[in-house]
């Protein structure tokens, strides 16, 4: 803080006195109480905890608080995120001090958490009251209004009414009407106390009274942990376990509001600060409630869901690569200067990077030391009616092997990503004559190889008994591979040879980058497929040619990329830097592309590829029994719920494929073509009604109407259709809004160019409406993915299925209409929600922990769909605004 300000002008009052510091501490204490209230509400720490157990829990909270405040403090001290506000500093300090105090108390005094919380509330009440009085007798400088206001009066009146009713009821009993008098009296007194006196008294004393009463009730165990109240008029009852946390939460909110008003000296500033705190606490409450649901399921399910999960460290590292790109991008995004502090933003952007880095380091250490990293997990199963305890481990193994699919998926993703990041390089760099020649011959070479592949595909590798595959095939593959190696080396050679600085050379030879990378990739890809159809795998010694070339290509591309990256660092010119960035992206495209080919080769030929002890193989680097295995009846191995996962994925896919085109089509028709009037209004009402229709009704419709028409049995197709019907209205509603919100200017502009309405819709309106449409699909998929009731009626919901629905393999072509048939679609299937329902609620079979694990997997599946949706939406949004 600059001390100068305070002396020069009263505009900034930086000095804080005892009153201020005390109130800061009180606010800190209230915030802590609030947090503890939430902790006890979700039963994370029992209210009856005391002594060392309580001390430990509070110690953990202390660690969190000290860690959080500490890191902010340190970065503030280091001027990364300077926190200038006295109030923020004070509250942070208050938070630390009060947590420390409570922890010490918990160890020192043998009281329960409930009593401790009650006492805390009393302390807060006293603090607030003292502050109010101090302000009223003007020992401190404040600027209160004449009254705390009607709204506060009403709130405190209502609180008084409730408290009075409770107290009166328990004193005189609810039988005598006297309790009504007590309740009304308390309400009136409190609201009068709030409204009539000056603001400083009006917003402290009533709050202190309420908070103090709540605190005393808890502290004196009038409402204790074991307390119960079952009013005759209600079938339910209240328990201390639920009432105490609520008392604590209410008390904490009230006292923080009141203390905040005092701290800011009442008046407009006081209201502002008070409202600010209350709103924030509310938001935390909401977020916490939402997070609790997810965390709860995760905590209960994650252990079982991951039993026996094994992954090779190298595979894990490969999988981490796309994540690394994401977090690097996040960290590199320039932190703006506007709404929040640059330093803090940078900090948050670096955190994920640090996290990924540390995971990578752990995986590397597993690889290097060769020690398995395992987290043991014990669970019990029913075997032959006897409970049997088993244990497996969630493990990271040090095998230096990458699964081919685990390599292909991220590598392909990355190569596409890098390809997209590189801009329009086609106009950059001087053209080299011979490079132009290569560019022209390349397509011919690739086309020739592809043609040969087609030939082998048609007539087989040994047409008319001629060993064409073994001779011509091998020759072409080898030739293509050699050419690919040369091409892959072009960028590297281009950068290394020639005149000028490294950067100049790299920029000059940009053509070689495009040509080398894409030429080599194209040739090698065609060779890969030729090799598969010719059923040959040419090799030099022990090394297969095609993957060998791919590896060499990857190495060459990474070398070129590294060189260019170095050159870019050295370069002083901004334009050159930008252009070199594109070449780096090209180089990385090459690296990822070659690695994709390497993985593909292994996946296609099923022969693993080993070099220097590291191998790319088809199996054995990832095992996740819960989602990769089916149920094993009577087995001691628990098996998994693969059929249910597959079922849910198909259900959602099918429903989406059914509902999205229909919904979007209808939305386009209603918005663009139909005359706005009674008909469209009617459709709108009908859609809204359909959206609010209970899911079980959809299920009944499916069972009574669809199933008789779909072969008479419960089936996957019926499930898809029913879920599709449920999805339809939401897609229709959101798509309509999205299409409507596309500005008419676009339509006018297109019409003025003589473009027809349908073309306009296709190329202008729909792309602009896409993000909105996808939002609707995301919301709808979230609803249908977890839908249980209709599936129980129409899906056949096999429990603990031992076979997953083979939808893709199930398609058969038939001679008579409808020409295609799919038995898998017409038979019953498993699904995650019904699995969860059956195992947990109906207790059909399997252990409850398996049910929780299924719920967790369901959550993962839904989140995955969600992530896909969000990605798609971001993509379309970006296309509309950046690109």
Partner 1 sequence: MSNALNDSETKQTTEGTDTQPTSTTTAGETEERVREAWTDYDFAGDPKLSVEDLNVWYGDDHALKDVSMAIPENSVTALIGPSGCGKSTYLRCLNRMNDRIKAARIDGSVELDGTEIYDPNANLVELRKRIGMVFQSPNPFPKSIRENISYGPRKHGDIEKGLLARLFGRDDTAEEDELVERSLKQAALWDEVNDRLDDNALGLSGGQQQRLCIARCLAVDPEVILMDEPASALDPIATSKIEDLVEELSEEYTVVIVTHNMQQAARISDQTAVFLTGGELVEYDDTDKIFENPESQRVEDYITGKFG
Binding site for partner 1 (CB under 8 A): 423-424, 675, 743, 745-756, 759, 763-764, 767-768, 879-883
Smallest gap from Cβ 750 to partner 1, in A, equals 8
Structure tokens at 232: 């005759």
Q: With the C-alpha atoms ordered 610, 613, 614, 616, is the resulting torsion angle positive or negative?
A: positive
Give the span between the Cα atoms of 792 and 801, in whole angstroms. 15
Residue 813 sits at φ, ψ, to 5 deg, of -100, 135
Question: Which one, 179 or 422, has the nearer CB to partner 1?
Answer: 422
Give the span between the Cα atoms of 807 and 131, in whole angstroms. 71
Give which of 413, 407, 394 is closest to 319, Cα–Cα.
407
Give which of 815, 860, 855, 809 is closest to 832, Cα–Cα.
855
Structure tokens at 57: 């829990």
Smallest gap from Cβ 736 to partner 1, in A, equals 19
Smallest gap from Cβ 882 to partner 1, in A, equals 6
Smallest gap from Cβ 740 to partner 1, in A, equals 16
Question: Which one, 579 or 832, has the nearer CB to partner 1?
Answer: 579
Smallest gap from Cβ 760 to partner 1, in A, equals 8
SS3 753: coil
CA 298 to chain centre: 13
Question: Which one, 570 or 874, has the nearer CB to partner 1?
Answer: 874
Smallest gap from Cβ 421 to partner 1, in A, equals 13
Q: Where are the alpha helices (DSSP H) in 142-204?
A: 150-172, 178-195, 199-202
Question: Which one, 40 or 453, has the nearer CB to partner 1?
Answer: 453
Question: Which one, 84 or 759, has the nearer CB to partner 1?
Answer: 759
Question: Which one, 519 or 780, has the nearer CB to partner 1?
Answer: 519
Please report the beta strands in 286-429, taking only residues with DSSP state E, as ranges in sequence order. 310-312, 373-383, 386-397, 401-403
Give 254: exposed, middle or buried? Use CB within 10 Å, 0-12, 13-18, 19+.
Answer: buried
Question: Which one, 619 or 681, has the nearer CB to partner 1?
Answer: 681
Smallest gap from Cβ 575 to partner 1, in A, equals 10
CA 790 to chain centre: 28
Smallest gap from Cβ 733 to partner 1, in A, equals 23
Question: Which one, 61 or 872, has the nearer CB to partner 1?
Answer: 872
CB < 8 Å & 24+ apart, contacts of 221-224: 221/114, 221/115, 223/247, 224/114
Euclidean distance between the first and the last CA atom of the chain, given in angstroms as a whole number: 44
Smallest gap from Cβ 443 to partner 1, in A, equals 11
Contacts with 331 (C-beta within 8 Å, 6 or more apart), sequence order: 349, 350, 352, 353
Q: Do the Cβ atoms of 470 and 536 come closer than 8 Å?
A: yes
Smallest gap from Cβ 753 to partner 1, in A, equals 4
CA distances from 742 to 664, 667, 760, 761 (A): 14, 13, 12, 10
Give the span between the Cα atoms of 543 and 610, in whole angstroms. 8
Give the span between the Cα atoms of 404 and 401, in whole angstroms. 9
- In degrees, rounded to 5, the angle at the alpha carbon of residue 369 between the alpha carbons of residues 365 and 371 is 95
Question: Which one, 18 or 752, has the nearer CB to partner 1?
Answer: 752
Please report the beta strands in 509-588, taking only residues with DSSP state E, as ranges in sequence order. 539-540, 543-544
How many residues are there in the chain?
A: 883
Smallest gap from Cβ 502 to partner 1, in A, equals 24
Q: With the C-alpha atoms ordered 711, 715, 721, 726, is the resulting torsion angle positive or negative?
A: positive
Question: Which one, 708 or 743, has the nearer CB to partner 1?
Answer: 743
CA distances from 466 to 459, 463, 471, 473, 532 (A): 11, 6, 9, 12, 18
Smallest gap from Cβ 82 to partner 1, in A, equals 34
Question: Which one, 2 or 427, has the nearer CB to partner 1?
Answer: 427
List residues bridging with 543 in a β-sheet: 540
Question: Which one, 423 or 848, has the nearer CB to partner 1?
Answer: 423
The phi-psi region of residue 265 (left if phi > 0; otherwise alpha if psi is between -120 and 50; otherwise beta) is left
Contacts with 482 (C-beta within 8 Å, 6 or more apart), sequence order: 549
Question: Which one, 621 or 750, has the nearer CB to partner 1?
Answer: 750
Question: Which one, 420 or 569, has the nearer CB to partner 1?
Answer: 420
Give which of 601, 459, 584 is closest to 534, Cα–Cα.
459
Question: Which one, 84 or 748, has the nearer CB to partner 1?
Answer: 748
Structure tokens at 538: 């040419």
Smallest gap from Cβ 751 to partner 1, in A, equals 6
Smallest gap from Cβ 870 to partner 1, in A, equals 20
Greatest pairwise CA separation for the chain in angstroms:
111
Smallest gap from Cβ 597 to partner 1, in A, equals 22
Smallest gap from Cβ 322 to partner 1, in A, equals 25
Contacts with 15 (C-beta within 8 Å, 6 or more apart), sequence order: 6
Question: Which one, 247 or 876, has the nearer CB to partner 1?
Answer: 876
CB < 8 Å & 24+ apart, contacts of 446-452: 446/522, 446/523, 446/526, 448/476, 449/476, 449/480, 449/523, 449/526, 449/527, 449/530, 450/526, 450/529, 450/530, 452/476, 452/530, 452/534
Question: Which one, 651 or 765, has the nearer CB to partner 1?
Answer: 765
Smallest gap from Cβ 496 to partner 1, in A, equals 29
């Amino acid at each position: 803080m600059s001390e100068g300000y305070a002396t020069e002008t009263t505009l900034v009052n930086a000095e804080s006195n005892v009153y201020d510091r005390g109130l800061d501490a009180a606010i800190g204490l209230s915030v802590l109480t609030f947090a503890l209230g939430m902790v006890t509400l979700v039963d994370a720490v029992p209210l009856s905890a005391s002594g060392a157990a309580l001390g430990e829990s509070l110690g953990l909270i202390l660690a969190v608080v000290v860690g959080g405040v500490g890191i902010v403090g340190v970065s503030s001290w280091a001027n990364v995120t300077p926190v200038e506000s006295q109030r923020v500093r004070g509250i942070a300090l208050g938070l630390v001090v009060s947590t420390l105090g409570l922890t010490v108390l918990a160890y020192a005094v043998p009281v329960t958490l409930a009593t401790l919380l009650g006492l805390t509330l009393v302390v807060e009440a006293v603090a607030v009251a003292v502050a109010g009085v101090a302000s009223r007798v003007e020992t401190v400088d404040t600027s209160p209004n004449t009254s705390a206001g009607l709204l506060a009066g009403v709130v405190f009146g209502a609180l008084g009414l409730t408290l009075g009713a409770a107290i009166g009821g328990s004193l005189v009993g609810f039988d005598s009407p006297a309790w009504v008098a007590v309740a009304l009296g308390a309400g009136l007194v409190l609201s009068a106390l709030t409204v009539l006196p000056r603001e400083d008294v009006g917003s402290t004393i009533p709050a202190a009274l309420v908070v103090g009463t709540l605190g005393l009730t808890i502290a004196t165990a009038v409402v204790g942990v074991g307390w119960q109240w079952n009013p005759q008029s209600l079938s339910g009852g209240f328990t201390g376990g639920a009432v105490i946390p609520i008392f604590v939460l209410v008390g904490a909110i009230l006292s923080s509001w009141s203390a905040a008003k005092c701290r800011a000296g009442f008046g407009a500033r006081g209201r502002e600060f008070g409202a600010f705190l209350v709103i924030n606490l509310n938001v935390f409450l909401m977020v916490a409630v939402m997070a609790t649901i997810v965390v709860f399921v995760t905590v209960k399910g994650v252990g079982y869901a991951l039993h026996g999960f094994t992954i090779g460290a190298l595979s894990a590292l490969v999988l981490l690569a796309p994540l690394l790109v994401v977090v690097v991008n996040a960290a590199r995004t320039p932190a703006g200067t506007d709404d929040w502090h640059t330093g803090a933003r940078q900090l948050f952007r670096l955190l994920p990077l640090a996290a990924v880095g540390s995971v990578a380091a752990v995986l590397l250490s597993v690889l290097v030391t060769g020690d398995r990293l395992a987290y043991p997990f014990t669970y019990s199963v029913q075997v032959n009616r006897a409970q049997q305890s088993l244990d497996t481990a969630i493990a990271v193994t040090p095998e230096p092997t990458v699964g081919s699919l685990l390599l292909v998926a991220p590598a392909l993703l990355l190569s596409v990503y890098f390809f997209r990041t590189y801009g329009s390089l086609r106009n950059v760099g001087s053209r080299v004559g011979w490079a132009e020649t290569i560019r022209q011959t390349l397509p011919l070479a690739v086309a020739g190889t592809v043609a040969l592949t087609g030939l082998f595909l048609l007539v087989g590798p040994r047409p008319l008994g001629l060993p064409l595959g073994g001779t011509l095939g091998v020759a072409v593959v080898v030739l293509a591979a050699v050419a690919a190696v040369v091409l892959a080396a072009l960028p590297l050679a281009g950068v290394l040879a020639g005149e000028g600085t490294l950067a100049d050379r790299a920029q000059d030879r940009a053509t070689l980058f495009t040509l080398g990378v894409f030429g080599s990739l194209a040739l090698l890809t065609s060779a890969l497929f030729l090799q598969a159809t010719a059923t040959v795998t040419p090799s030099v010694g022990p090394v297969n040619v095609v993957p060998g070339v791919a590896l060499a290509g990857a190495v060459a591309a990474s070398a070129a990329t590294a060189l260019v990256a170095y050159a870019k660092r050295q370069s002083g010119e901004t334009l050159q830097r930008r252009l070199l960035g594109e070449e780096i992206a090209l180089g990385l495209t090459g690296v990822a592309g070659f690695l994709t080919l390497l993985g593909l080769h292994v996946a296609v030929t099923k022969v693993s590829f080993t070099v220097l002890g590291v191998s790319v193989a088809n199996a054995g680097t990832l095992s996740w029994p819960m989602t990769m295995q089916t149920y094993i009846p009577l087995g001691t191995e628990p098996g998994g719920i693969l059929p249910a996962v597959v079922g849910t994925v198909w259900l959602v896919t099918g429903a989406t494929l059914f509902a999205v085109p229909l919904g979007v089509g209808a939305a386009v028709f209603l918005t663009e073509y139909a005359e706005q009037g009674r008909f469209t209004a009617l459709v709108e009402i009908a859609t809204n009604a359909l959206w609010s229709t209970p899911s079980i009704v959809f299920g009944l419709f499916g069972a009574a109407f669809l199933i008789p028409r779909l072969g008479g049995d419960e089936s996957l197709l019926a499930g898809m259709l029913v879920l599709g019907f449920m999805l339809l209205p939401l897609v229709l509603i959101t798509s309509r809004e999205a299409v409507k919100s596309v500005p008419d200017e676009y339509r006018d502009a297109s019409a003025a160019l003589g473009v027809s309405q349908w073309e306009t819709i296709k190329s202008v309106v729909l792309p602009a409406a896409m993000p909105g449409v996808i939002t609707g699909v995301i919301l709808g998929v979230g609803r249908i993915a977890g839908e249980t009731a209709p599936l129980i009626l129409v899906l056949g919901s096999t429990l603990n299925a031992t076979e997953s629905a083979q939808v893709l393999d199930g398609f058969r072509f038939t001679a008579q209409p409808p020409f295609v048939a799919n038995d898998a679609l017409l038979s019953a299937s498993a699904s995650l929600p019904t699995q969860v329902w059956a195992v947990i609620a109906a207790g059909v079979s399997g252990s409850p922990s398996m049910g929780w694990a299924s719920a967790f997997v369901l959550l993962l599946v839904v989140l995955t769909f969600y992530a896909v949706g969000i990605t798609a939406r971001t993509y379309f949004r970006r296309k509309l605004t950046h690109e």
